[in-house]
Amino acid sequence: MIRVVVVDDSAFMRRAITQMLATDPAVHVVATGRNGREAIELVTQLHPDVLTLDIEMPEMDGLTALSRIMRDAPTNVLMLSSLTTEGSRAALRALSLGAADVLAKDTSQVSLSITNIRDDLLARIHAVGNRRRPALLSGSREPIHVGKAHSPASPDCPVLRPSQFDVICIGASTGGPPVLESILTALPASLNLPVVVAQHMPALFTASLAERLGSMCKLPVHHVTHRMPLQRSAIYIAPGGKHTHIRKIGLARWELIVSDDPVTAIYRPSVDALLASAAIAMNGRALGVVLTGMGNDGFEGGSLLHARGGMLLGQNEETCVVYGMPKALTQNALVAASLPPHRIAVALSSLAAKYRTGFTGTDAGASIRSR
């Protein structure tokens, strides 16, 4: 039985969430609260498996409460954030403070759409409710510093050659944003490859994620738009709500295609779609990285990438919020290594080593050229 505390300042939301969770016999709402202060009290008294927590509340907001809960009584927290630009920024802040996941709610049409999120809410409750206590995962949220003394060579990590790949593709879901932040901010400006990221989030959230990463990373960060040229020494964040594919448009030239294909995958952006397109467009010269997340998105695309001669790295179980996506690849022997985030950062950074290629120029915005 997963024991849940629901905290929201809206009586309608508390009732709606409680009713949705009551449809699952494996989930039991043990208490409800109206603000951050009550959230702290209920968590301290009841020690629930999961706390659902609104962000905007009177007396004490959700972010303040979350910070205190993670400091004094670490709990698996699922944040409910408004589907607005400010709500998306607050959601990313919540994830950096230790929330396990965020579920967006459209406050403008909440009475019409709230029941539509039931299946998604229950899936996240199960995924988050069965994870380790957050205190045991704190290491995956620490900043990563990659220096010259680090080397990717180790018994658990293959040696990567800078001339081996044309692109790095990263997929993530539940628990992904803080891990992405720690890995991507560690990448050096001298990395001569494009990095394309598919993180399961709504479009407003991925736009805020790109904005946040852009203020922190050494490489320029772009929120992908349709037919955006793929350039080296840059990071691309796939927009939420749609799928992003890589398409070859000439000799060693590629672009990013944003599609609304209703047939392709249930997750948007789909990691499967990204990895499969990279496998075909780069003829296997792609490095795929699959991070924490529930489900198995990335398995089909990763299988194709592996079959085409590409390489896959997976986040290890100990540091995942939810060990679903990387597990699907690992248990089928498709990953070259299962690594914690800091080892992934070191491995990717090793691809920035100087080497002779057909690249000309050193500007970060130059298009990928033939090797």
Q: Which residues are catalytic?
A: 173, 200, 297
Q: Of 323, 313, 320, 270, nearest to 290 (Cα)? A: 313
Q: Are 339 and 315 in contact (CB under 8 A)?
A: yes
Q: Are 68 and 41 in contact (CB under 8 A)?
A: no
Query: How does DSSP classify residue 317?
Result: G
Distance between CA atoms of residues 240 and 199, nearest Å: 8
User: Nearest-5° angle of CA 253, CA 256, CA 258?
Assistant: 155
User: Nearest-5° angle of CA 207, CA 117, CA 83?
Assistant: 30
C-alpha 113, offset from chain centre: 24
Exposed/middle/buried for residue 362 (C-beta within 10 Å: 0-12, 13-18, 19+): exposed
Task: For residue 1, count other CB atoms closer than 10 A to its CB.
Answer: 10
Exposed/middle/buried for residue 229 (C-beta within 10 Å: 0-12, 13-18, 19+): middle
Task: Report the run of H or E that residue 95 belongs to, with start and end.
Answer: helix 85-97
Distance between CA atoms of residues 343 and 323, nearest Å: 17
Count helices and strands in the chain by DSSP H and E runs: 12, 15
User: Nearest-5° angle of CA 233, CA 235, CA 237?
Assistant: 160
Q: In this structure, is the dihedral angle defined by the CA atoms of residues 111, 112, 116 and 117, taken in order, positive or negative?
A: negative
